[in-house]
Every structure is written in C-alpha cells, then in structure tokens.
Amino acid sequence: ISHTWFLSIIQNEFRTGKIDLDSTMKLLETLQVPFDFAHVKHVFKKTVDKRKTNTINIEDFRAIYRAIVHRVEFQELFRAYSPNNKILADTELVEFLRKEQYETEGCETMALEIILKHEPIEEVKKRRQMSFEGFIRYMNSEDCLIFKSDHRTVYQDMNHPLCDYFISSSHNTYLVSNQLIGPSDLWGYTSALLKGCRCLEIDCWDGSNNEPVVYHGHTLTSKILFHSVIQVIDKYAFVASDYPVVLSLENHCSPKQQEVMAEYLESILGDKLLTSTIGDTDVTQLPSPEALKFKILVKNKKVGTIEEGMLRRNLDSHGETGEITDLENISDEDESDERAPLFPRNDSSKRKSEQKPPAPPRKKAKMKKTKIALALSDLVIYTKSEKFVSFEHSLANQKCYENNSIGETQARKFVKHSANEFVSHTSRFITRIYPKGTRTTSSNYNPQEFWNVGCQMVALNFQTPGVQMELQNGKFLDNGGCGYVLKPEFLRKHNSTFTPQNVGRYSKPMSLSIRLISGHQLPPSNLSKTNKADPLVHIEIYGVPEDQTKKKSSVIKSNALSPRWDETFSFTVQVPELALIRFCVEDEISLVANDFLGQYTLPLLSLSKG
C-alpha cells in the first residue's frame, strides 16, 4: 500500500523521466517530511556524481527519500509493535502509547486522533490503522516533543502577588551589540517583547529640542528617541503574552524632560498604562499578573505614597517637582555608576577586595538628593524603585510595592554569605539583579544562582547569545512562554528556611534516566568543509549547587546525517523545581576543541516521559 501511495504522489513529477535538485526539494515538501537542505543536497550529489549528470530518476528519488526519512531507529520501534512490519492496528498503537510514551488514560481516543492527524494514506486511515509512513510523521511531529504539551500554555495559578513569580527580564534592552560603541536600536525592544520578556530597561537622558533620548550614557552608543521606544512597546507589548510589562526606567533626565516622558507614556500607551491602584489605595499586597493583564507598569523612583500621588493626579501638577533623598553608601555598586569608563583603569586593588565578605555599610554615607517631576513620579504605582540598604533595613521599612535593584557582584556575595536573608527578602519584595558595568561586551552572568534565591527579575543582555541566554529562554518556555513562572513554594513562604547550599527538608529527590538514541540531519559545523561532523552530546543539569552536573556521550565519527549513540545517563536531582536540563550537541574538531552545533534547554519538570 505504501508503495502505491508513494508512486501516486511522485510519478507525475517523473513523466519526463528525470528531475533536478530543485524539483527533488519541492517533492519532499509535497510529501510533508522534515528535511534539511544541506543534507538532501549532499545525498543528491552523491547519487548524481557517479553518473556525471545532475538529474535523478524515480528509483534514485525513492532511495534518497528512504535515506532521509526511513530512520532505522523508527523502523526498530515500529517493528516491535507491528506483527507484520507493515501496519499498526489501533490496538497496537494503544499498546505503544502505554508502554513507550507512558500515557495512562484515554489512550484509545488518543490513538485514533494520532491516526487521523498523521496517517497520510487514506485507505489505511479509513481502517483506523497506521502505516510506517504515518508513524514517521507522528514521531517527527510536535506530539512527540520532549517538552510537556500542557506546559506549552499557561497552566500555573496566575493569581498570586507579582513577587511570587520569576519574571523574564532584560538589561539595556536598547542595545543590539555591545555597551561602549554598539548601536542602540528599537529592534532590541521588539525582539525582547516577542520573546516574552516582561521587564524592559530604558536608559533615559536629556536630548535636544526637549526630546528625551535612550542610550547607554557616557558612551559612544547611538541614541534613539524616547517616544519611538514607547511607540514600539505599545505595538508589541502583548503579542507574545497577555501579562503585565514593567518598564524599568534608569532616569537621568532633568525634571523638564521627565515631564515630557510622562506625557508620552500617557498619550502613547493610553489605557494600557497603569495610573491607579486596582481597588484599595492602601496597598498591603501586590496585585497578581492576572489582575494586571494587558497593563504596562512604570518602575522608577517615586515621591511620597501611592495615595498622595493619586490624589495629586486629579489636580494639575504640571511643572512641579519633588525631592528624593537617598542614603548613598559609597561602598555600594550604584546602578547609575554601573557604566564602565571608556578606558577602564587596571585597578588591581579593587579585585583583591572582592574576596572579602561584604563590608558593613560605611558610616560616612552621603545624602544624595534627586529632583523628580511629580507628573512622572505619580505614574509609579506598584513598582517603586528603592535604594537597597540592607536586608534588615528592608524588613523594617520597605513597603510591598517597593523594589530593589542589586548588582550581580553584591548579589553574589549575599548568595554566599546571607542566603537565608536573601530568600526571606525575595519572598516579600521584587528584586532585580543586573550585570556589572565592567561587562563592556554585554556578556552575561549565570542567572541560575539568583533564581535559586528567588530573585524575580534577573536581567540579562538579550542581545548576547550563549549558555546564559539559553538558560533564560529554557526557563521561560514554561507556563506557555508568558514571561511569568510561579516560584516554588519554598521561595514564596515568608518563614522559609530554604537556602541553595543547604536544601534540607525542601529536597524532593527525583531520579532521572535519559536514553540518548540518535541524532538526525545535524547542522554542519561552521569549521567543516563537508556536511560531515563528529558529533557528541553534553547533558547538563543547572539548579542548586548540589544538582549542578554534566555528562557527555561518546563521539560518533563522521556522521551528521544519522549518528546513533544508544547510551543511557542517570541523574538524581534534589530540587527538581529549580532544575533546568540542557542538551548541547558539538562537533569534535580536534582533541582540544569542539564546535557548537545546537542546544535545547528546558525546565526539568517540563520533560515529557517516553
């Protein structure tokens, strides 16, 4: 039957006898199978080179189709459940779903749905059966993705207060290359929002003609207009997710231009901009992502309380400014001093001091006064930026709608020396971590160490590819990619004793067994002249320190089309709720160097069995 079906689809193409590479590609598309251009071209060339022509006949095409599509590991699986090696009856497919895919309920219905969806041969489909062609299409489909299907939509409770979620956050969102001379670009905002990012950073400075601009201050990065940034945000804010977007303003503007900013925010964002509390003006708990759907929040310094600001909004506060007095610890890495000088000094004395535990705040803290336009201040509702002084200070004085930004260096010291207080702090207040200013190439830190203590906004340079962004993208695949992931209970409870170094009673050990079977149509290495590769796979777990581990497979020599490993890896994970698993495929170029071919990262608990 398969043969007849196959011929009926392809024979028309061969009425003149032979076809070229282009027609071969088109025909594979008609057959609806996933193929990679480089690999098909390679197999095609191997076929025609023997004959010194550049066309193939119908038998050649069938051989190419089989080489690319009829994978041996699929055949082995199919034969294990099909008594005659040709057809799977619905009952045999049910058995496959139970034994191999660990499905428990509704297998009969599921089997019929799979047949209707994937079986290409009509008469087989009518008999409620599945051919090998249908089985291949099912195995290659999203129904067999390793990522749990029910985690691909929002499935978590979205009614907790905002501080109970990890929130996808970007740093210097306006940059598309590096921090010193790279271009600032609106595309930075568009692409971050389309990836589900929910907290964007906007560095605002006074521009000419009373037009505020966005760029990396004191550097040679180019400038974009503040109002253009807000227009882009207005357009793309809710394409990837319905949940609220926070605009983290790093504000260096004069009060006059802050007023212009406030005007743009209101006129461009309209109803999307949150300008008053939801319900009670006396805020004792942050609202939930659900309650703030389709809203944009401004995160900035604020004068006075939310109530005062809301009363004032009814009057015209045009031209008025308020003053904020900040206690400035000289020892602190302040957010506004987060830029590296253009020519960094080689300051070795500073490096040595990093090994010491955090020094107590210096006594000679100076007071820093900042003028802020009331029109802008009053747009800050649930996300008021507060200077971080200490965990005790926050516990005694900070309100639930006040949040802190802490630089990675200081935050890392807290993780090491006061993890308990850190977890207690993040269970109450939104905490944003940002990369240190000396990362002039916009490199990133590992976000996992800060998720481990419950930091909600772990801001990364989205424009910089690498393991750190892969962990970020993997973590936020969860919960439908909406940019909000509910923190585990032990990071939400105010009296939690959890710390990443000592998980104690919060450990729920899980044993994980991964069988690495094969690869298919791997991308050729950038360094390789042919489409050959010597692939190997790293399986890595990121999580609390005792869960961090990596294992690697053997190397399969010169096979990028269909490398076969059949190796099993076992792991025990103490805190699965925080763990991510990363599969990374490399090409062994030499004994000392591997070239990256591809990777996939996902939360451990989003891993599908089977």
Catalytic residues: 171, 216
Contact 380, 262 (CB under 8 A): no
Burial zone of 583 (CB within 10 Å; 0-12 exposed, 13-18 middle, 19+ buried): middle
Is the sign of the CA dihedral 522, 523, 529, 533 positive or negative? negative
Q: Element (H or E) spanning 408, and its range?
A: helix 408-417
Quote the strand ranges of 374-531, DSSP E. Answer: 384-385, 402-407, 431-434, 457-458, 484-486, 510-518
Q: How far apart are CA 549 and CA 200, in angstroms?
A: 32
- Residue 473 φ then ψ, to 5°: -65, -40
Collapsed DSSP state (helix, strand, coil) of residue 421: helix
What are the phi and psi torsion angles at 598 (to 5°)? 175, 165
Instruction: Look up residue 567 and give its two tokens.
Output: 């190796």
Burial of 24 (0-12, 13-18, 19+ CB in 10 A): buried
Q: Which residues of 181-203 are buried (b: 16+ CB within 10 A; e: fewer)?
A: ebbbbbebbbbbbebbbbbbbbb
- Alpha-carbon distance of 260 to 280, in angstroms, equals 29
Angle at 474 between CA 470 and CA 475, to 5 degrees: 120
CB 354 within 8 A of CB 398: no
Report the run of H or E that residue 601 belongs to, with start and end.
strand 594-603
**SS3 for 328-369, per residue?**
ECCCCCCHHHCCCCCCCCCCHHHHHHCCCCCCCCCCCCEEEE
> Which tokens go with 533?
């590769």
With a CB cutoff of 8 Å and minimum separation 6, the contacts of 352 are none
